[in-house]
Amino acid sequence: MGLLQGVRVLDLSRVLAGPWASQLLADLGAEVIKIERPGAGDDTRAWGPPWWDEAAGLSAYFLSANRGKRSVAVDIAQAEGAALVRDLAARSQILIENFKVGALRRYGLDWEALRAVNPALVYCSITGYGQSGPNAKRAGYDAAIQAEAGLMSLTGEPASQGGAPQKVGVAVVDLMTGMYAVAGVLAALRHAERTGEGQHIDLALFDTQVAALANQASNYRVSGEVPARHGTAHPNIVPYQVMPSADGWFMLAVGNDAQFRRLCLRLQQPEWADDQRFASNAQRVANRDALIALLRERLQRQPSAYWIEVLSNDGVPCGPVNDLAEVFASAQVEARGLRLDLMDAAGQAVPLVANPLRFSATPVSYPHAPPALGGDTRAVLQSVLGLTGTEIQRLVGQGIVT
């Protein structure tokens, strides 16, 4: 039995932040109904190649964030279509949407309208900049938020070396926002179950990224100094960065003085650990360039695999810089079951990536492969709203659902 069995989530979101949240809720056992625009659906259905099934609107991107859901294609611009979604909201515990601020009001699907039909509804709005402030009406996209909220200023090679700001290789702002959304809706659901009172959650990509600046934000708030880019290096810990070897690169992540001493012993340079320039982490940060130059010279004498083996055996954190082929071929991925294949309606195994949560009593479940656009419209309208086949056929004929 799933942890969230009996919880229905109405998902009016698209692209990544909202769908990432609703996918996690589906993994935890919630019934997730994804509302999509007929003929087009979630924007990411068209974000290919690569494709799993182009005709069904199943791009690789869409697959990454939509397992476990049922797709209902309904035109909310038509009054009867909006009424169908309103009826579904009346029978749901959670709603997630990422329309522009105020856009759902014209359809009677805003928080105020839906709380009138379902006072216990937990309604989560995900926008670029939130429901208030001078930027509230601006559209928000992950890469733009990475830039505006400071993450790109911290990412990339140092400016002193001619490095430009870089975005992270995946849409981390969307992903973090999705995770905050899950925490928020589950906390609000707990409140609703105790009191019968739902509430509106106002969640912004911009706010999420500012909050997720974490130690870098704290560094600035405490010191007043704007942090610089350090490439793969850590602003507060040294040595903690990608290092060259005889055949490439590996990541060295020395987190304390004891680990640094073991590193020096393995490099046959024990005196470095007692050198006043390097004896403590604070001294190593102050003398970063001198230490890194010494380490680079020594580490380039052996291949990465050698260093990873001997340093790991000495308890010095390090690891390879793997590409995705190497990641998914690794014994650790195999042991942890991170490659996931789900059967679709045609009996084909859809290649996905598993949820990382491991519960001792209530394991994560995967009830459905990512759905084709409108693949569940009839089933949901019948099972949840009690519509007859004749009524559904009339809606199809009028272009209200597909």
Q: Coil, strand, or helix at residue 211? A: helix
- In the chain, what is the straight-line distance between the N-terminal and C-terminal CA atoms, in Å? 32
Do residues 214 and 222 make contact, with C-beta atoms less than 8 angstroms apart?
A: no
Task: State the Cα–Cα distance between residues 153 and 166, nearest whole angstrom.
Answer: 8
174 is catalytic: yes
Do you find a cis peptide bond into 50, omega within 30 degrees of 0?
yes
Q: Coil, strand, or helix at residue 169? A: coil
**Cα 41–chain centre separation:** 20
Cβ atoms within 10 A of the Cβ of 311, count?
22
Task: State the Cα–Cα distance between residues 131 and 100, nearest whole angstrom.
Answer: 9
Do residues 231 and 157 make contact, with C-beta atoms less than 8 angstroms apart?
A: yes
Spot the catalytic one: 174, 207, 344, 376. Answer: 174
Strand order in the sheet with 249-253: 240-244, 249-253, 318-320
Do residues 175 and 142 make contact, with C-beta atoms less than 8 angstroms apart?
A: no
Residues taking part in catalysis: 174
